[in-house]
Amino acid sequence: MVEHRPSPVPGAPPVPWRAALAAWGAFACLAAFYLLYVTPRRGVLFSDEAWYLYNAVRALHHGEIASYLPQAPAHLFNAFSMIFLGDGYLPQRYVFILANMAAGVALLAGVGGKKALATSLPLGLGCVLVAGLSSVINYQNGPGLFLCLGLGLYFLGDRAAGPVAAWTLSTAAGFFLAASAMANLTVTPGLAMICLGLLWRAWRTGRLRRAVGPLACGLFFGAMLGAYAAALGLERLFHVPKGHGFLYGRLGEIVLLAVAWPAFWGGFAGVAALWRRRGHRTDPVAWGLWLLVSAAAALLVKAILVACGGRVVFPLDPLPTLNPVILLPHYAYGLLCLGLLHGALTRGTTDQAWRRGLGAALALLLYWAQQTFYSEIFVTFSMVFISGFMMALGLLLLSLPALPALRGGRDVPGRGRAGALFLAALVFVGGSLGYLETGGWTGETRLSGPKVELDNPRLRGILESPERAAMLAAVERAYAGAGCREKALLCFNNASLLHYVLDHPAPPGLSYIPQPTYFEPEIREIVEGKKPWCVLYSASYRRPGTAQREEAFMQDLAARAAERRVLGDPSSSIPYTDFVLFLGPAPMGQDVPGPDGGTR
């Protein structure tokens, strides 16, 4: 006879201990693989991640709390962790992983209670572990991360047995909810709506203890924002950086993406209801789950095969080729909406879990919509930063017991549902790891292939390709040999890593330069001046639409330089192995060395 453990949710089927053990065993293997293999072999990312860490170092060691994005002080959280762990790149990745795991545990345990400790928790944590574009806390993933941690602690405090535990958890929830907005102040209106909703819930139910969390959030947020604004200044705080603002033109796309999956699953459930009226046993959630997982698996396999240069044959050949950074978040959102549909159909026995899951899902959507509204990041994949938590919530809600009417008179989910949930998590994890292997969002590094450890103190423990490691070493030697320490340093394109690695302050507002033409007036003010300067330039991510303008700009910069040193291979296909160092300004009347050794 199969041994079962007691059911942790009233009306739920017992969970076989072998299934739970298998799920936790799979998560343990994934976690070990991700921590020991994937995390160091992701290499270094020259643009966004390094820029976050550069800002954190400047805040920690030099008191410069401002950044190019004054409304997004997430780097202060990195600076805080650097107090204890140092300013290395790799420790910040482990901090991010630990924070994600804590948020995942809190959210799933808070929403689902002890039920989450069976099989849905390890499956959900596996998805949270591998999701997202970045590997350090930043202003894009920080709001969702701290929001999930705060909401999870709030739900746990709401159900705590004693007053001390309840007050402690609720106060901690308030802190992390406040931190979610401090990571990116543009979500403050959403946080206000969430806190007002929690306060209304406390008043409606007559349980004033439920008001501790949102009230603590208000106090923590007021204190943190007041201190930040006092140090930064109101004028700087309300300065709108280039590439950001009120982007009303994307409201329609945001709304469309938000309602697409709920509308689809609603229609799907309606068709299933018509079939049931005709006497057919139709479970819309079961059919929808297999449809979603199968479609996502096929599309992800084709996308990864194309990215790796593999051969695509029938039946994958007719399918569209979509970027995994678009597929993965919408797959996660589709699964979450399907889980909410399942929860709505099972509310007779799981009403509270469904309500908590719905609240968490709406809060995540609210944050996503606000962040997407204020930034030029593409709407189609901006949801990727919360995709892991969406997957985890969806898997939890889908693990709730199904109504007997939908299961042919049986109240047990069945092996088919359990297998589908495991496969759903496997598709997401496999797709995410496959995407990292193909280079991820920036296409800079792959997990496989020859790797060497970087010797810079801040990059210790990170493995890179021999070519990129040699390039970084060459840049450091050229920087020291040219005496750039005492000169203004500009790094483009998307090469903020060099400011972080070389520990060289960037000119005000120029720590992150996507292309030189993006900040052309500010850059010209420096290179056309009389003070000495160094420019490190890589053409790895030259955009086709601005390539000609950038080429003209670089030719003009070369004409103003006293020396041009080629540090890498201009024909290399490996990103950021083609750096060129320009030293200026050129003395009046001096010929400038050209790329062929002649003069300009």
Q: For residues 496 and 511, is the Cβ–Cβ distance under 8 A? A: yes
* φ, ψ dihedrals at 488, nearest 5°: -70, 135
Q: How many domains does the chain have?
A: 2
| Intervals of the chain under pLDDT 70 | 1-17, 115-117, 243, 347-350, 402-416, 588-600
Same domain, 427 and 483: no
* Of 162, 176, 172, 182, the residue nearest 212 (C-alpha): 172
- The confidence score (pLDDT) of residue 15 equals 54
Q: pLDDT at position 416, please?
A: 65
Q: Is residue 430 part of a domain?
A: yes
Q: How far is C-alpha 508 from the chain's CA centre?
A: 27
Calculate Rg over the CA atoms of the chain. Answer: 26
CB atoms within 10 A of CB 109: 20
pTM confidence score: 0.92
Q: Is 532:487 a contact under the CB 8 Å cutoff?
A: yes
Q: Are residues 370 and 505 in the same domain?
A: no
Same domain, 23 and 110: yes
Q: Please check whether residues 189 and 330 belong to one and the same domain.
A: yes
What is the reported pLDDT for 113? 80
SS3 state of residue 463: strand
- 93 and 209 belong to one structural domain: yes
Please tell me whether residues 431 and 482 are part of one structural domain. no
Q: Which two tokens stand for residue 454?
A: 């970087």
Instruction: List the domain range (segments joined by +) for residue 89.
Output: 17-402+418-438
Strand partners, 464: 452
**Same domain (yes/no): 197, 154:** yes
One domain for residues 372 and 478: no
Distance of CA 518 to the CA centre of its chain: 25
What local confidence, expressed as pLDDT, does residue 276 receive?
76
Has residue 533 been placed in a domain? yes
* Residues 358 and 493 placed together within one structural domain of the fold: no
Residues 296 and 377 in one domain: yes
Q: Is residue 375, in this structure, part of any structural domain at all?
A: yes
Given this model, what pLDDT does residue 413 score? 47
The CA-atom distances, in angstroms, between 377 and each of 243, 380, 383, 385, 505 are 9, 9, 10, 12, 26
pLDDT at position 591 is 56
Report if residue 2 sits inside a domain.
no
Shared domain for 36 and 173, answered yes or no, is: yes
Confidence at residue 545, expressed as pLDDT on a 0 to 100 scale:
77
Is residue 213 within 8 A of residue 170, CB to CB? The reply is yes
For tokens 């709920």, what's the residue? 262
Give the pLDDT of residue 7. Answer: 41
Is residue 447 included in any domain, yes or no?
no
Q: Is residue 411 part of a domain?
A: no
Q: Within this chain, do residues 424 and 479 fall inside the same structural domain, yes or no?
A: no
Q: Residue 250 falls within a domain, yes or no?
A: yes
Amino acid at 206: G
Domain membership of residue 210 (yes or no) is yes
Round to whole Å and give the CA distance between 485 and 480.
Answer: 7
